Amino acid sequence: MNPRLVDLILKHRKVAYAITDRNLKVCEIGGESQLLTLSTSFSPQATLHQPPAEANGLGCSLFDLAPEMIGSEADIEAMLRGDMPVLTLASVNRETGQGETYYVNLVSWPYYDEQGAIVGIAHLVEDMTLSGHLEQRLTQQRNEVQLLRDQTATQNLALRAANAELRQMDELKSKFVSVAAHELRNPLASILGYVELMEEDLEALNEEHAHCIRTIKKSARRVLGITNDLLDVTRIESGSLELMLKPANLVEIVEDVANELQPQLDEKKLQLFLDATPDIPFALCDRPRTMQILTNLLSNALKYTPETGEIMIRLDAESEEGFIVISVTDTGIGISPEDQAKLFKSFFRGSNTHLTRASGAGLGLSITKSLVELQGGRIWLNSELNQGSTFYVTIPTYDGGEMEEQRAEDRGQETGDRGESSSSAF
Ligand code: ADP
């Protein structure tokens, strides 16, 4: 090959070479080493270490040029005997006169004369600084990633342990609430039983005692309501609340709920309206739980609407395909936008509830939301402070053929009762 071309390639590739004789004395030196000067970060002296300046490297010992090869004497001897084809020292790091680190690969082969006898060793010194630095940075980054991974693994372990502890505490809390609520229910039921027995004979009591009996009944009912809510919360949290979805007539359910709450509505002189088209389809829902949903919404409307207000319940089977939308609108105290964001959280009570002095544990809406969602529906609201609120829930429609007969029968009854479309005061 053209020697000038070889030189060009060696310089371009930053490769220096040296040939040592059998006594390891340098007899030829070339490549990049002939061009670079001491002022650059890369120099022949740097690449081939520090050859004696007076001889420009020629005649000096191999170990002066490449002290890294000290310790490889046995390999060098094997190479000179022809027992070793190549010796490689990879990524040897060196320092320039300016204190910078650079990396070289040192590769040595036996050097033959034209008759094929080994007359020395050819050494190639290749500048690997760029890839060395990259490799070093890569190794450093790999180490950092590994460190982060180790830290994440440790944190994960700690988190898992904390989670397990929290879950255990949560289970314990649910168990405690459930046991306490169960234990409270029996004595409450017997209190209510006796109170109702005494109520039957109220004439036998004077007005003060009759008032006491009514107060005891009201309070016992309230505690029973809270106890039942607590039990529901624990069942919902543990996923053990089961629903029996069956076809049901929502108009009938709304009427039942309204009838139950009629005494309280009357007490507050609140007017209740129902607006439902006669062909409201059957819903697929759990009847007692749907009653609970509507009771919660209606009793909230009742609690948070001042006297002589109005409440409207609408059933709409058209605005959302596959669902019946029930809305409960009141002309009550309304809910601020900040409170609306937290409304469905357990134990949350609005900042303006004091306006009505209505009592409550803040569980009704969170239970209602879970029940609605367990049935496949959703809940939302529109409300403005001091103007009133509308709560919407969706209940899936039932579209099974076997209910057609019952529906027709029901429709007949409804038309008879309320005409084509009803908007009636209860
Ligand atoms: P509770 O009524 O026992 O406080 P809920 O979970 O049923 O609990 O309701 C949570 C809060 O939502 C109530 O404390 C009240 O501030 C607000 N809220 C619910 N319904 C209405 C309504 N119709 N009008 C105004 N505020 C309401």
- pTM for the whole structure: 0.62
Q: How many A from CA of 350 to the centre of ligand 1?
A: 6
Ligand 1 centre to CA of 66 (Å) is 86
Q: What is the pLDDT of residue 54?
A: 45
> What's the CA gap between 345 and 365, in Å, rounded?
8
Ligand 1 atom nearest to CA at 363: 6
> What is the number of the ligand 1 atom nearest to the C-alpha of 353?
16
pLDDT digits (tens, 9 = 90+) for 42-88: 344 445 555 554 446 788 888 888 888 899 999 999 999 999 999 99
pLDDT at 361 (0 to 100): 86
Q: Which atom of ligand 1 is nearest to the CA of 366?
A: 6
Residue of minimum CA distance from atom 16 in ligand 1 = 350
Ligand 1 centroid distance, CA of 383 (Å): 12
3-class secondary structure for the chain?
CCHHHHHHHHHHCCEEEEEEECCCEEEEEEEHHHCCCCCCCCCHHHHCCCCCHHHCCCCCEHHHHCHHHCCCHHHHHHHHHCCCCCEEEEEEEEECCCCCEEEEEEEEEEEECCCCCEEEEEEEEEECHHHHHHHHHHHHHHHHHHHHHHHHHHHHHHHHHHHHHHHHHHHHHHHHHHHHHHHHHHHHHHHHHHHHHHHCCHHHCCHHHHHHHHHHHHHHHHHHHHHHHHHHHHHHHHCCCCCCCEEECHHHHHHHHHHHHHHHHHHCCCEEEEEECCCCCCEEECHHHHHHHHHHHHHHHHHCCCCCCEEEEEEECCCCCCEEEEEEEECCCCCCHHHHHHCCCCCCCCCCHHHCCCCCCCCHHHHHHHHHHHCCCCEEEEEECCCEEEEEEEEEECCCHHHHHHHHHHHHHHHHHHCCCEEEEC
Residue with CA at minimum distance from ligand 1 atom 3 = 360
Nearest residue (by CA) to ligand 1, atom 14, is: 349
**Smallest CA separation from ligand 1 atom 23, residue:** 301
Report the separation in Å between the CA atom of 198 and the middle of ligand 1, taken as the mean of its atom positions. 33
Give 300 Cα–ligand 1 centroid separation in angstroms. Answer: 6
What is the model's pLDDT at position 410? 52
How much is the pLDDT for 422? 40
Q: How many Å lie between the centroid of ligand 1 and the Cα of residue 290?
A: 18
Protein residue with its CA nearest to atom 4 in ligand 1: 362
- pLDDT for position 425: 52
Please tell me the predicted confidence (pLDDT) of residue 95. Answer: 75
Residues with CB under 6 A from ligand 1: 296, 300-301, 304, 330, 332-335, 343, 348-350, 353, 360-366, 389
Note down pLDDT in tens along the chain; length 426 residues. Answer: 788 888 788 877 788 888 999 999 988 888 876 423 322 333 444 455 555 544 467 888 888 888 888 999 999 999 999 999 999 998 888 777 677 777 888 899 999 999 999 999 999 888 887 777 788 889 999 999 999 999 999 999 999 999 999 999 988 888 888 888 888 888 998 999 998 888 887 777 788 888 888 899 888 988 898 899 999 998 998 888 999 999 999 999 999 999 999 999 999 999 999 998 778 999 999 999 999 999 999 999 999 999 989 999 999 998 899 999 999 999 999 999 999 999 999 989 998 888 887 888 899 999 999 999 999 999 999 999 999 999 999 999 998 744 454 555 555 544 433 333 344 455
Q: What six digits make up the tokens of 250?
A: 């929502």
Q: How far apart are CA 261 and CA 282, in angstroms?
A: 23
Please classify residue 359 by burial: count the beta carbons closer than 10 Å to its beta carbon, then call 0-12 exposed, 13-18 middle and 19+ buried: exposed
